[in-house]
Chain A
Amino acid sequence: MNIYINGTAVISAQNHLGEEAFPKTVHVPFDDHFRAQEPSYKEHIAPNMIRRMGRAIKMGVSAALRTLEDAGISEADAVVCGTGIGCFEDSEKFLLSIIDHQENLLTPTAFIQSTHNTVGAQIALLIKCHQYNMTYVQRGFSFESALLDAMLLLAEGEAKHVLTGGIDELTPGYLTLQKRAGYIKSSAYTGERLRDDPTPGHYLGEGAGFFVLSSLQTTATYARLQAVTLLHNPASLALAVNAFLQEQGLEPAAISLVLTGHSGDVRYESQMQALQLGYLNGCPQLDFKQYCGEYMTSGSFALWLAASLLKTNSAPPALISSGTVPTNIAHVLIVNHFRDDDYSLILVSRC
């Protein structure tokens, strides 16, 4: 069964408010993290609702509503989300309030909004979708698990249009904790290639990427979502990619572009480097985390990028990390990982 991406919208460190798939000017944060460039939320969310929403909720709801607009539909048969850390800002507020007020005088708003499924719930309330609603919290597999669930719903005929996406937010508290744990680079990002970085740590990012996945192709269709697979601690990433492509009847030479999830942390990059220099060496490659940073649902940014490049059938030369700039984009392979544990492969093809 064919599954189509019929609409998409993203919020990331890049400015996506223009008409083009990827902004002409690449935004490089002069800091140790990629903060999302947030749009004006008032266009899609009523002010009396915005005031209660944390950033993750605002980003997710806004991206989801713009995705529906992009697909030319107002309703979905299901809402399936993925998030690594959920609504962290509200969780922090609530927990700090417990400490500050010695477990007394707790206000309800932050608690209500702090659960991981708040984004999916708010989207469903706004679009009046009273059907299937699921949120996956599976570390580096969160977004990809949501994708798989959406694909199953479509394949089983349970839904015709599934609104699915990934959301994660950065907060000062989370950044501090990640720094203490040694996950963050000690220097500011200056635009260097993450795949060549010989130091430990990565640059955290955040954002929301949403998609309308449908069983029907329309004039709005971006691309075909051909296959998704999750690999926990694969013995050999190259062998896994080979098997994945063989299942789809493809050789590496048929892949127009590989979106690689190099995080820039030398401790976790051996499998990715072996793949990049070995099995997929002949394919043009684009390191997408140079534009969005590292977060557990960064795969949603990569899928947005893949769908956009396939729809326009062009890739900005400045974005390509290695190989020749593809002139005809037929198949895009996303190879992502989170700290060398959670690997995912997504194949997206032109219709």
Chain B
Amino acid sequence: MEALIEKLKIEIIQQLNLEELTPADIDPDATLFGAGLGLDSIDALELIVLLEKNHGVRIKDPNDGKEVFKSVRSMAEYIKANGKS
């Protein structure tokens, strides 16, 4: 799980061009949207594509999105439960 979390951090930085951040700056339990990383709705779309492109995971029920993208850890858990990697 920890390896996947670190991999996800790198992917998120690359996908969202978070040039100011290093993986160490991202708390895996911090919220991604709002107060945490401060991501917005466009970033949400980027993260949906990231999950599908890099991990073969598709979010079938839009209502799951809120929980899946709560933090890096919740993303990793969703990949673990539903993905190929």
Contacts and interface: CB of A to CB of B under 8 A. Distances in A.
A-B interaction = yes
Contacts of A47: 19-20
Contact of B52 (A52, A105, A108, A109): A105
Contacts of B38: 48
Interface in A60-115: 101, 105-109, 112
B17 A108 contact: no
A29 to B, nearest CB: 25
Interface in B39-79: 42, 45-46, 49, 52-53
Report the contact-size class of chain A (Cβ under 8 Å from the partner): 10 to 19
Interface in A260-314: none
A51 interface: yes
B49 A112 contact: no
Contacts of B19: 47, 50-51
B18 interface: yes
Interface string B4-32: 00000000000111111000000000000
**In this complex, which of A105, A107, A109 has the most chain B Cβ atoms within 10 angstroms of its Cβ?**
A107
A49 B38 CA distance: 12
A109 B46 contact: yes
B78 to A, nearest CB: 18
Contact of B45 (A48, A51, A52, A108): A108
Contact of B46 (A48, A101, A108): A108
A108 B42 contact: yes
**In this complex, which of A50, A52, A106, A112 has the most chain B Cβ atoms within 10 angstroms of its Cβ?**
A52
B53 A112 contact: no
Interface string A180-206: 000000000000000000000000000
A107 B16 CA distance: 10
Nearest to B43: A109
Interface string A107-131: 1110010000000000000000000
B81 to A, nearest CB: 21
Contacts of A50: 19
A109 B47 CA distance: 12
Nearest to A106: B49
Given A48-B38, A101-B53, A107 B17 contact: no
Interface in A36-58: 47-48, 50-52
A107 B76 CA distance: 21
Given A101-B53, A108-B42, 20 more contacts: A47-B19, A47-B20, A48-B38, A50-B19, A51-B16, A51-B17, A51-B18, A51-B19, A52-B17, A52-B42, A105-B49, A105-B52, A105-B53, A107-B45, A107-B46, A107-B49, A108-B46, A109-B42, A109-B46, A112-B42
Closest 5 CB pairs of A and B: A51-B17, A107-B49, A108-B45, A105-B53, A105-B49
18 contacts: A47-B19, A47-B20, A48-B38, A50-B19, A51-B16, A51-B17, A51-B19, A52-B17, A105-B49, A105-B52, A105-B53, A107-B45, A107-B49, A108-B42, A108-B45, A109-B42, A109-B46, A112-B42
